[in-house]
């Protein structure tokens, strides 16, 4: 293929057909173009890709040419899967895990660009965290610059969106403080085997216990969450959830990535472990109506993903926040919801000590 044309496939297994050259600027590939590319690969090699793999490549990359090519290169070359084997969703998950955890020139450019201005972090996290959104205004200098870098785009409704889930995941990683100072508070003092306490006897994740402990951790930490370095207070809850789950997933040998169904306002953290898929939606409190709507939207997403139970975490930053815990049956799906209070100022009694 090369990155110049998706139809230039002169296949030789010793040379990747998915050559990656980040210097070229190309429009993003459509799903149809990605499908054509990979159908051509199948025609030349005989190796079949499941349709969910093709859809996953386009969905996670947003059609960004480098990311499409890199995912395809990992799948067809670096995983060393025999041509007689069909490339499956399990193979795609391995490829996605690799691209999310590697360093390459393209992602290095992304890091450089999102750090060019301090205000970029606030804008990007605002887009990620609030369903009300940011109107797309190409004449705004911050938005225009991020569009130039390929990081932002206008959604169909005229609001800003991050261009693809891979960028979304990397942006969270880029702004995540390497040490938040609360790591030793993640688990209660009577923990036995660390995060392994949150696995069942069969080795499955006990997600309710894990998220119950996250809620309790926020309570244990109290006003200290306001001291997390280099983190806007408004988004500290989501940063801490991401860091907490990331540490858990690495300890148990799982894999986590993000999906952004609407492009803004709510973020799904997807965890895979022992062939089981766990879906956690997170957002910031924006009123009772949006809180209820979020449950319905999560239930619909669970139906699409064929997952029976989903988890909904909303961070409440209001002056008079209200903690909540609900379990609901919606359209045959179990929705476990947490509304977690995030302190916005140090209590006066603590200040006086």
Domain that holds residue 123: 105-175
User: Is residue 252 domain-shared with residue 265, that is, in the same domain?
Assistant: yes
User: Is residue 54 domain-shared with residue 73, that is, in the same domain?
Assistant: yes
User: Is residue 51 domain-shared with residue 161, that is, in the same domain?
Assistant: no
User: Is residue 184 domain-shared with residue 277, that is, in the same domain?
Assistant: yes
For the whole prediction, is pTM greater than 0.75?
Answer: yes
- Whether 351 has a pLDDT exceeding 70, the answer reads no
H-run or E-run covering 171: helix 165-175
Which of 150, 175, 200 terminates a domain? The answer is 175
Note the pLDDT of residue 228.
Answer: 87
Q: Which of 5-14, 252-261, 268-277, 292-301 has the lowest mean pLDDT?
A: 5-14
User: Is residue 80 domain-shared with residue 57, that is, in the same domain?
Assistant: yes
User: Is residue 161 domain-shared with residue 83, that is, in the same domain?
Assistant: no
Pairing of strands 255-259, 309-316: unpaired
User: Is residue 53 domain-shared with residue 131, that is, in the same domain?
Assistant: no
Domain count within the chain: 3
- Summarised one tens digit per residue, pLDDT across range 92-148 is 999 999 999 999 999 999 999 999 999 999 999 889 888 888 999 999 999 999 999
- Summarised one tens digit per residue, pLDDT across range 33-66 is 999 999 999 999 999 999 999 999 999 999 999 9
Top-confidence residue, 19 or 6: 19
Note the pLDDT of residue 332.
Answer: 96
User: Is residue 207 domain-shared with residue 248, that is, in the same domain?
Assistant: yes
Note the pLDDT of residue 5.
Answer: 38
Q: Which of 223, 180, 221 is nearest to 351 (CA)?
A: 223
User: Is residue 78 domain-shared with residue 211, that is, in the same domain?
Assistant: no
Are the CB atoms for 119 and 142 separated by under 8 Å?
yes
Rounded CA-CA distance 100/328 in Å is 33
User: Is residue 66 domain-shared with residue 132, that is, in the same domain?
Assistant: no
Note the pLDDT of residue 129.
Answer: 82
- Whether 291 has a pLDDT exceeding 90, the answer reads yes
Domain holding 26: CATH number? 1.10.8
Are the CB atoms for 313 and 290 separated by under 8 Å?
no
- Summarised one tens digit per residue, pLDDT across range 159-204 is 999 999 999 999 999 998 888 999 999 999 989 999 999 999 999 9
Mean pLDDT of the residues in the chain: 89
Which of 154, 175, 196 terminates a domain? The answer is 175
Rounded CA-CA distance 105/118 in Å is 22
Lookup: tokens for 77: 């070359």
- Whether 11 has a pLDDT exceeding 90, the answer reads no
User: Is residue 70 domain-shared with residue 150, that is, in the same domain?
Assistant: no
Q: Which of 139-143, 153-157, 213-217 has the lowest mean pLDDT?
A: 153-157
User: Is residue 10 domain-shared with residue 43, that is, in the same domain?
Assistant: yes
Which of 102, 130, 147 terminates a domain? The answer is 102
């Amino acid at each position: 293929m090369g990155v110049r044309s998706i139809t230039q496939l002169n296949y030789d297994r010793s040379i990747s057909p998915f050559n990656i050259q980040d210097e070229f600027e190309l429009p993003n590939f459509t799903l149809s173009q990605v499908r054509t590319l990979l159908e051509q690969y199948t025609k030349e090699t005989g190796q079949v890709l499941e349709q969910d793999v093709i859809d996953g490549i386009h969905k996670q990359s947003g059609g960004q040419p480098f990311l499409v090519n890199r995912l395809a290169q990992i799948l067809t070359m670096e995983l060393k899967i025999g041509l007689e084997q069909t490339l499956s969703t399990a193979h795609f998950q391995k490829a996605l895990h690799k691209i999310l955890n590697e360093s390459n020139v393209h992602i290095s450019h992304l890091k450089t660009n999102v750090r060019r201005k301090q205000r970029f972090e606030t804008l990007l996290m605002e887009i990620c965290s609030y369903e009300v959104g940011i109107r797309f205004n190409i004449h705004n200098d911050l938005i225009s610059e991020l569009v130039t870098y390929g990081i932002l785009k206008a959604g169909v409704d005229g609001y800003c969106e991050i261009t693809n889930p891979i960028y979304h995941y990397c942006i969270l990683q880029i702004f995540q403080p390497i040490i938040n100072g609360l790591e030793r508070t993640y688990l209660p003092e009577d923990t036995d085997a660390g995060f392994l306490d949150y696995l069942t006897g069969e080795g499955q994740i006990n997600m309710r216990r894990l998220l119950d402990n996250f809620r309790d951790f926020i309570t244990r930490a109290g006003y200290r969450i306001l001291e997390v370095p280099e983190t806007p207070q408004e988004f500290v809850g989501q940063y801490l959830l991401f860091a907490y789950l990331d540490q858990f997933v690495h300890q148990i040998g799982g894999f986590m990535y993000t999906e952004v169904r609407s492009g803004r306002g709510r973020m799904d953290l997807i965890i895979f472990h022992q062939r089981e898929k766990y879906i956690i939606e997170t957002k910031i409190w924006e009123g009772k109506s949006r809180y209820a709507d979020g449950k319905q939207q999560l239930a619909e997403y669970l139906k699409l993903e064929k997952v029976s139970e989903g988890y909904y975490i909303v961070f409440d930053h209001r002056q008079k926040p209200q903690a909540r815990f609900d379990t609901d049956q919606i359209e045959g799906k179990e929705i476990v919801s947490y509304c977690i209070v995030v302190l916005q100022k140090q209590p006066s009694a603590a200040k006086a000590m």
